[in-house]
Amino acid sequence: MPEPVQYRGMTLAVPDNDSEWREFYAHARAHRLVMRRCSACGLMRYPPTHACPWCMDLGWTWQEVSGRGTIHSYEIVAHAIQPGFKDWTPYPVVLVELDEQRGQPTPDEGLRLVANLVTPDLRPEADKNVAIGKRVRVVFQDLADHMALPQFTLTDEPAEGRVWRLEG
Ligand SMILES: [Zn+2]
Protein backbone atom coordinates (compact mmCIF):
# COMPACT_ATOMS: atom_id res chain seq x y z
CA MET A 1 0.00 0.00 0.00
CA PRO A 2 1.33 3.49 -0.75
CA GLU A 3 2.31 5.57 2.25
CA PRO A 4 -0.71 7.16 3.91
CA VAL A 5 -0.91 10.86 3.11
CA GLN A 6 -1.19 13.55 5.75
CA TYR A 7 -3.63 16.30 4.87
CA ARG A 8 -4.50 19.05 7.35
CA GLY A 9 -3.97 16.70 10.27
CA MET A 10 -5.95 13.85 8.71
CA THR A 11 -4.54 10.57 7.42
CA LEU A 12 -5.71 9.77 3.91
CA ALA A 13 -5.08 6.14 2.97
CA VAL A 14 -6.44 4.47 -0.14
CA PRO A 15 -5.92 0.67 -0.04
CA ASP A 16 -4.21 -1.07 -2.98
CA ASN A 17 -7.33 -3.05 -3.72
CA ASP A 18 -9.45 0.12 -3.97
CA SER A 19 -8.53 0.61 -7.61
CA GLU A 20 -11.48 2.90 -8.20
CA TRP A 21 -10.08 5.70 -6.03
CA ARG A 22 -6.37 4.85 -6.22
CA GLU A 23 -6.32 5.36 -10.00
CA PHE A 24 -8.59 8.41 -9.79
CA TYR A 25 -6.15 10.14 -7.40
CA ALA A 26 -3.14 9.04 -9.45
CA HIS A 27 -4.65 10.66 -12.54
CA ALA A 28 -5.34 13.76 -10.44
CA ARG A 29 -1.66 13.81 -9.43
CA ALA A 30 -0.87 13.98 -13.17
CA HIS A 31 -3.36 16.87 -13.23
CA ARG A 32 -5.98 15.00 -15.21
CA LEU A 33 -9.58 14.89 -14.04
CA VAL A 34 -11.02 11.56 -15.15
CA MET A 35 -14.43 9.92 -15.08
CA ARG A 36 -15.35 6.33 -15.74
CA ARG A 37 -17.06 5.93 -19.09
CA CYS A 38 -19.34 2.93 -19.58
CA SER A 39 -18.24 0.67 -22.44
CA ALA A 40 -21.84 -0.30 -23.19
CA CYS A 41 -23.95 2.89 -23.02
CA GLY A 42 -21.13 5.46 -23.21
CA LEU A 43 -22.26 7.50 -20.20
CA MET A 44 -19.67 8.77 -17.72
CA ARG A 45 -20.18 8.47 -13.99
CA TYR A 46 -18.90 9.97 -10.76
CA PRO A 47 -18.05 8.65 -8.19
CA PRO A 48 -16.05 5.99 -10.12
CA THR A 49 -18.26 3.09 -9.17
CA HIS A 50 -17.71 -0.50 -10.29
CA ALA A 51 -20.85 -0.90 -12.42
CA CYS A 52 -22.66 1.58 -14.62
CA PRO A 53 -25.50 3.08 -12.55
CA TRP A 54 -27.74 3.27 -15.64
CA CYS A 55 -27.20 0.03 -17.54
CA MET A 56 -25.28 -2.07 -14.95
CA ASP A 57 -22.54 -2.97 -17.43
CA LEU A 58 -19.15 -3.73 -15.82
CA GLY A 59 -17.00 -2.53 -18.72
CA TRP A 60 -15.46 0.94 -18.50
CA THR A 61 -12.52 3.13 -19.49
CA TRP A 62 -11.09 6.27 -17.91
CA GLN A 63 -12.14 9.39 -19.79
CA GLU A 64 -10.42 12.72 -19.21
CA VAL A 65 -12.80 15.67 -18.87
CA SER A 66 -12.18 19.40 -19.16
CA GLY A 67 -12.57 20.18 -15.48
CA ARG A 68 -14.79 23.12 -16.36
CA GLY A 69 -18.23 23.48 -14.88
CA THR A 70 -20.80 25.50 -12.99
CA ILE A 71 -21.57 25.69 -9.27
CA HIS A 72 -24.76 23.66 -8.91
CA SER A 73 -25.03 24.12 -5.14
CA TYR A 74 -22.83 25.08 -2.21
CA GLU A 75 -22.57 25.36 1.53
CA ILE A 76 -20.53 27.55 3.82
CA VAL A 77 -18.79 25.68 6.63
CA ALA A 78 -18.93 27.90 9.70
CA HIS A 79 -17.90 25.30 12.30
CA ALA A 80 -15.33 22.80 11.07
CA ILE A 81 -15.69 19.26 12.38
CA GLN A 82 -12.12 18.45 11.32
CA PRO A 83 -9.67 20.42 13.48
CA GLY A 84 -7.41 20.90 10.44
CA PHE A 85 -10.03 23.10 8.79
CA LYS A 86 -10.70 25.37 11.80
CA ASP A 87 -8.41 28.10 10.48
CA TRP A 88 -10.26 27.99 7.13
CA THR A 89 -13.70 28.90 8.52
CA PRO A 90 -15.92 30.20 7.15
CA TYR A 91 -15.13 28.40 3.89
CA PRO A 92 -17.16 27.21 0.91
CA VAL A 93 -17.81 23.64 -0.20
CA VAL A 94 -19.25 23.42 -3.70
CA LEU A 95 -21.15 20.89 -5.76
CA VAL A 96 -19.86 21.42 -9.30
CA GLU A 97 -21.69 20.25 -12.40
CA LEU A 98 -19.18 19.54 -15.16
CA ASP A 99 -19.80 20.82 -18.68
CA GLU A 100 -19.62 17.29 -20.04
CA GLN A 101 -22.80 15.25 -20.08
CA ARG A 102 -25.10 17.95 -18.69
CA GLY A 103 -28.74 16.86 -18.83
CA GLN A 104 -27.91 13.24 -19.58
CA PRO A 105 -29.32 10.66 -19.31
CA THR A 106 -32.25 12.75 -17.99
CA PRO A 107 -32.69 16.54 -17.88
CA ASP A 108 -32.01 16.55 -14.12
CA GLU A 109 -28.75 14.62 -14.25
CA GLY A 110 -25.12 15.53 -14.77
CA LEU A 111 -21.59 14.80 -13.61
CA ARG A 112 -21.31 16.48 -10.21
CA LEU A 113 -18.39 16.59 -7.79
CA VAL A 114 -18.07 17.92 -4.25
CA ALA A 115 -14.91 19.89 -3.56
CA ASN A 116 -13.52 22.94 -1.82
CA LEU A 117 -13.78 26.24 -3.67
CA VAL A 118 -10.31 27.72 -3.48
CA THR A 119 -8.24 30.58 -4.82
CA PRO A 120 -5.69 29.70 -7.52
CA ASP A 121 -3.06 29.41 -4.76
CA LEU A 122 -5.28 26.90 -2.92
CA ARG A 123 -6.55 29.09 -0.11
CA PRO A 124 -10.29 29.01 0.69
CA GLU A 125 -12.29 31.39 -1.51
CA ALA A 126 -14.12 34.16 0.37
CA ASP A 127 -17.67 33.07 1.11
CA LYS A 128 -19.09 36.30 -0.34
CA ASN A 129 -17.75 35.28 -3.78
CA VAL A 130 -19.64 31.98 -3.96
CA ALA A 131 -22.93 31.68 -5.83
CA ILE A 132 -24.92 29.07 -7.68
CA GLY A 133 -24.39 29.56 -11.41
CA LYS A 134 -20.81 30.84 -11.19
CA ARG A 135 -18.26 29.22 -13.48
CA VAL A 136 -15.33 27.22 -12.15
CA ARG A 137 -12.38 25.16 -13.33
CA VAL A 138 -10.52 22.34 -11.65
CA VAL A 139 -7.20 22.89 -9.89
CA PHE A 140 -5.14 20.13 -8.37
CA GLN A 141 -3.80 20.15 -4.85
CA ASP A 142 -0.75 17.87 -4.85
CA LEU A 143 -0.47 15.90 -1.62
CA ALA A 144 2.08 13.16 -2.45
CA ASP A 145 3.75 11.45 -5.41
CA HIS A 146 0.65 9.31 -5.95
CA MET A 147 -2.14 11.60 -4.87
CA ALA A 148 -3.69 14.98 -5.56
CA LEU A 149 -7.11 16.34 -4.69
CA PRO A 150 -9.22 17.95 -7.42
CA GLN A 151 -10.47 21.31 -6.16
CA PHE A 152 -12.24 24.12 -7.99
CA THR A 153 -11.53 27.79 -8.48
CA LEU A 154 -13.66 30.60 -9.93
CA THR A 155 -13.11 31.69 -13.53
CA ASP A 156 -13.93 35.04 -15.15
CA GLU A 157 -16.44 33.47 -17.55
CA PRO A 158 -19.99 34.83 -17.30
CA ALA A 159 -22.25 32.90 -14.91
CA GLU A 160 -24.79 30.45 -16.31
CA GLY A 161 -28.52 30.72 -15.76
CA ARG A 162 -29.83 32.21 -12.56
CA VAL A 163 -27.12 33.35 -10.17
CA TRP A 164 -28.11 32.82 -6.56
CA ARG A 165 -26.49 33.09 -3.19
CA LEU A 166 -27.79 33.26 0.34
CA GLU A 167 -27.47 36.85 1.47
CA GLY A 168 -25.98 37.55 4.84
ZN1 LIG B 1 -23.85 2.03 -19.04
pTM as predicted: 0.93
Confidence of residue 1 (pLDDT cuts 50, 70, 90): low
| Cα 50 to middle of ligand 1, angstroms | 11
| Average pLDDT over every residue of 75-86 | 92
CB count in 10 Å sphere of residue 81: 7
The residue that leads in pLDDT, 161 or 36, is: 36
- Radius of gyration (Cα) for the chain, nearest Å? 17
| Cα 44 to middle of ligand 1, angstroms | 8
pLDDT digits (tens, 9 = 90+) for 16-53: 888 889 999 999 999 999 999 999 999 999 999 999 99
| Cα 58 to middle of ligand 1, angstroms | 8
| Cα 77 to middle of ligand 1, angstroms | 35
Confidence of residue 4 (pLDDT cuts 50, 70, 90): confident
Domain boundaries defined on the chain: 5-154
At residue 93, φ and ψ (nearest 5 deg) are -120, 130
CATH topology for 5-154 is OB fold (Dihydrolipoamide Acetyltransferase, E2P) (2.40.50)
Q: Which residues surround ligand 1, an ion (CB under 5 A)?
A: 38, 40-41, 52, 54-55, 57
pLDDT digits (tens, 9 = 90+) for 96-155: 999 999 999 999 999 999 999 999 999 999 999 999 999 999 999 999 999 999 999 999
Q: CA-to-CA distance for 100 and 110, rounded, in angstroms?
A: 8
3-state secondary structure string across 9-21: CEEECCCCCCHHH
